[in-house]
């Protein structure tokens, strides 16, 4: 695993955006895997500001990692809303090329199978960007006793609900379940770029990179992939 330690958030965001631009420059119909959260915000801003000088998203397809169950696209806390506002409405991507798990599907089991099959038939993802939760979760794959391979519904841990409550009016309004790509889905991407900043990610980063591969530390699964770049700041790197 390649580990790049940068001095500041701007440099992390720039390098991540460069990976994305390079991928789309080489392949104008690239398939991208995209995350949410606060960490990729800087990368998305650079993409909005600079994409016209670098590439077009006309033929690009995107798959988001995850979504809260029960929140639809009009809900400001849904990842669908986030993606539209933070990125998609500012670039020339076609609506029909955007895929995000449907958190309000009538039958969630069916939605999981549908989403997994979409990734399989339209993919593989050429590049997948990831953040990491303070407990080591990737996408919404929480610490568990086994690896969930494919897209599935997951019960969020108290740790994740607390960490993500800053985006909601109250901790009670954070959904208790989510739909997420599974571990094999994530590992099926040709290239993975993980971003992390801050002291509160340091333990998760150290365990993911140097610890044993275990479903108790979901990020550790990245050790099984042969093309991962981790872009982090000094705070997140402090136990490496």
- The catalytic site residues sit at 66, 135, 137, 142
**Bridging pattern class, strands 31-34 and 228-233:** unpaired
**What is the closest distance, in whole angstroms, from the C-beta atom of residue 160 to ligand GLP in the complex?**
6
Question: Judged by CB under 6 A, which stretch of 8-16, 107-115, 131-139, 182-190 contacts ligand GLP?
Answer: 131-139
For 61-103, the DSSP string reads EEEESEEETT--TTSTTSHHHHHHHHTGGGS---GGGEE---T
**What is the closest distance, in whole angstroms, from the C-beta atom of residue 46 to ligand GLP in the complex?**
16
- Does the bond joining 124 to the residue before it have cis omega, within 30 degrees of 0? yes
Sites for ligand GLP among residues 33-92 (CB under 6 A)? 35-39, 65-66
Distance CA 199, CA 85 (A): 28
Residue in 144, 60, 71, 151 with CA at minimum distance from that of residue 104: 71
Per-position x/- string for 13-42, each x denoting binding to ligand GLP as judged by CB under 6 A, each - no binding = ----------------------xxxxx---
Question: Judged by CB under 6 A, which stretch of 18-26, 128-136, 182-190, 227-235 contacts ligand GLP?
Answer: 128-136
- Of 57 and 140, which has the nearer Cβ to ligand GLP? 140
Q: Are 81 and 49 in contact (CB under 8 A)?
A: no
Residues that bind ligand GLP (CB under 6 A): 35-39, 65-66, 131-133, 139-140, 160, 164
């Amino acid at each position: 695993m390649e580990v790049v330690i940068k001095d500041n958030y701007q440099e992390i965001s720039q390098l991540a955006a460069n990976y994305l631009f390079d991928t789309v420059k080489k392949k104008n119909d690239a398939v991208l895997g995209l995350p949410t959260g606060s960490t990729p915000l800087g990368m998305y801003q650079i993409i909005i500001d600079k994409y016209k000088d670098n590439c077009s998203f006309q033929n690009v397809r995107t798959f988001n990692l995850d979504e809260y169950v029960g929140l639809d696209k009009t809900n400001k806390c849904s990842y669908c809303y986030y993606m539209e506002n933070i990125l998609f409405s500012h670039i020339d991507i076609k609506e029909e090329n955007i895929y995000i798990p449907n958190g309000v599907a009538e039958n969630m089991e069916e939605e999981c199978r549908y989403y997994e099959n979409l990734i399989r038939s339209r993919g593989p993802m050429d590049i997948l960007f990831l953040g990491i939760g303070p407990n080591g979760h990737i996408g919404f794959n929480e610490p568990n006793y086994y690896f969930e391979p494919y897209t599935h519904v997951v019960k969020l841990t108290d740790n994740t609900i607390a960490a993500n409550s800053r985006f909601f009016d109250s901790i009670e309004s954070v959904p208790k379940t989510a739909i997420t790509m599974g571990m094999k889905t994530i590992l099926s991407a040709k290239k993975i770029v993980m971003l992390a900043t801050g002291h509160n990610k340091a333990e998760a980063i150290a365990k993911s990179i140097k610890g044993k591969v275990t479903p108790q530390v979901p990020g550790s699964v990245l050790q099984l992939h042969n093309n991962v770049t981790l872009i982090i700041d000094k705070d997140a790197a402090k136990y490496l």
